[in-house]
Amino acid sequence: MAIKSLSDLLAEGVEGRGVLVRSDLNVPLDDSGNITDPGRIIASVPTLAALAEAGAKVVVTAHLGRPKGEPDPKFSLAPVAAALGERLGRHVQLAGDVVGTDALARAEGLTDGDVLLLENIRFDARETSKDDAERLALGKALAGLVEGADGSPGAFVSDGFGVVHRKQASVYDVATLLPHYAGTLVDTEVKVLEQLTSSTERPYAVVLGGSKVSDKLAVIENLATKADSIVIGGGMCFTFLAAQGLSVGSSLLQEEMIDTCKKLLETYGDVIHLPVDIEVADGFAADSPHETVPADQIPDGKMGLDIGPESVKRFTALLSNAKTVFWNGPMGVFEFEAFSAGTKGVAEAIIGATGKGAFSVVGGGDSAAAVRLLGLPEDGFSHISTGGGASLEYLEGKTLPGIDVLEA
C-alpha cells in the first residue's frame, strides 16, 4: 500500500480538524540555551505552515536531547517554540507538559490555524518504553489531543525523518490509532533514499567519515557491493589504517574492529579508498600545534584530526566523475578551523560533481552541520537529509518502523 502524503490530507480538508504532527526539532543548543543550527526547525516549516494555513488545529510533538524520561529544564522546547514561531510567522504556544492538564487545556482551546507545541515528548518515559502497552497508552493520550468535539478522530502527520527508525509512541504507536500521512519532509527523504538504493546512476561514490567504524559497518558492507568507490575519512579511518599494519599514534582507534576492517579491505580493497596523508596534532584542541604527515608515518604520541591536502586531491579526483554521491560524516574535526580543510575540500568536490549533473545526498547529522558551519551553499547539493541515523539504517537495508507503519 502506498503511503498517503500531506497533499492527500489537504485534499481531504483539514479546516477545523485537529492534526498531530511529529516533527524533528532536535536542534543543538549552546551552554546558554541558544540554538546554534536551526536546520531542522527550518525543514519542519513547510508541513506545519501548509496545515496552519489550511485551517487545521495543529499540535506538534518533538524531542530535544536525551532527558531521562522526566522533565528537565535543560531540555525544554521553549527556545524551539520561539524560533519556530519566527519561522512560521505566527505565535506557537508551548504546553507546560506533554499530555497533562496544560497540554489538554491548550489543545481544547485551539482555533483554526493555531499551532501548539507540546513540551519535550521524552519528558514522558513511555515515549521510548520497550513495553508496547506503555507506549500505546501515551499514543492514545496524544491522539486524544486532536480528537474532534464530536469524538471524530484527528489525523497524524509523520514529518520527523530523524526519528522514523525508532519504534516510539509519537512516531509509531500514534500512527496505528489515527489516519496517517507522510509530511513533506518524510515524503521527500523516502523518495531520495529510494533513488539511492534502486535507480542509482553510476559511477556511484560514497563518502563516509565520523568517529567509529562500528557506526558505519553495516552501511559499508551493504554499499560496498553497490558503489564504485567508498571514500573513508574522519576518526574511523585510523582503524582501517591500523588494519593495514600502520601505526596511528594516539589517534582515535577501535581496536576491536581492526580484524573486521582487515576483512573489508581484503574483500573490497578495490572499492575502499583511505587517506594518504593526515593532519596530526599534539592533542585534541583548536590551537594544538599541527603538521601534515604521510598516512604511513604518523608519529607516536601524535593525534590525527583531519585528512591532509593530498588525500583531498585524490578524493576529489574520485568524486569528479561521479553521477551519484552519498556523504555521511566529516573528514576531520571541522569545528576547529585548523582541522576543517579536509571536510571542506571533500564537500567542495561533491558540490563540483553536483554542478556537473551528479545527484548528491548529504546524509544528515554532522555532515549537514558542517555544510552550514563552513559556509558552503546548501543548494550546492541535491538533497541535505535531516536524519543521519535513519538514512544510514535505510541504506543498510533495515526496516524503518516509522515508515513501515505509514504503509499500513
Question: Is 263 among the residues known to form the active site?
Answer: no
Q: Check whether residue 14 and residue 139 sit in a common domain.
A: yes
Indicate whether 191 belongs to any domain: no
Q: Check whether residue 230 and residue 282 sit in a common domain.
A: yes
Q: Check whether residue 123 and residue 88 sit in a common domain.
A: yes
The three cell numbers of residue 293 are 604527515
The three cell numbers of residue 134 are 506503555
Q: Of 13, 29, 115, nearest to 77 (Cα)? A: 29
Q: What are phi and psi of 291, to 5 degrees?
A: -155, 160
> Could you identify the residue written with the cell 555544510?
371
Q: For residue 20, what pLDDT band results from cuts at 50, 70 and 90? A: very high
Catalytic one among 139, 365, 387, 402? Answer: 365
Q: Check whether residue 176 and residue 34 sit in a common domain.
A: yes
Number of domains in the chain: 2
Cβ contact 209:25 at 8 Å: no
Least confident stretch, 81-85, 187-191, 335-339: 187-191
Q: Check whether residue 45 and residue 107 sit in a common domain.
A: yes
Which of 144, 161, 186 is the last residue before a domain boundary?
186
- In three-state secondary structure terms, 233 is coil
**Which amino acids are annotated as binding site for (2R)-3-phosphoglycerate, given as ranges?**
40, 122, 166
Catalytic one among 87, 90, 167, 212? Answer: 212
Average confidence (pLDDT) over 247-272? 96
Helix H or strand E segment including 206: strand 204-208
Q: Check whether residue 164 and residue 234 sit in a common domain.
A: no
Catalytic one among 22, 40, 57, 344? Answer: 40
Strand ranges, E, within 269-310: 272-273, 277-281, 290-294, 303-307
Cα(230)–Cα(176) distance, integer angstroms: 39
Residue ranges making up the domain that contains 104: 6-186
Question: Is 389 among the residues known to form the active site?
Answer: yes
Q: Check whether residue 177 and residue 62 sit in a common domain.
A: yes
Q: Check whether residue 235 and residue 86 sit in a common domain.
A: no
Indicate whether 21 belongs to any domain: yes
Segment 182-196, tens digit of pLDDT: 999 999 999 998 888
CA 92 to chain centre: 24
* Stated pTM of the model: 0.87
Cα(309)–Cα(312) distance, integer angstroms: 5
> Could you identify the residue written with the cell 536546520?
39
What is the per-residue pLDDT for 1? 54
Average confidence (pLDDT) over 85-95? 97
Q: For residue 365, what pLDDT band results from cuts at 50, 70 and 90? A: confident
Residues 6+ apart with CB under 8 A from 89: none
**Which amino acids are annotated as binding site for substrate, given as ranges?**
24-26, 40, 63-66, 122, 166
Q: Check whether residue 152 and residue 275 sit in a common domain.
A: no
Q: Check whether residue 86 and residue 135 sit in a common domain.
A: yes
What is the per-residue pLDDT for 167? 97
Average confidence (pLDDT) over 327-349? 97
DSSP letter, residue 318:
H
Question: Is 40 among the residues known to form the active site?
Answer: yes
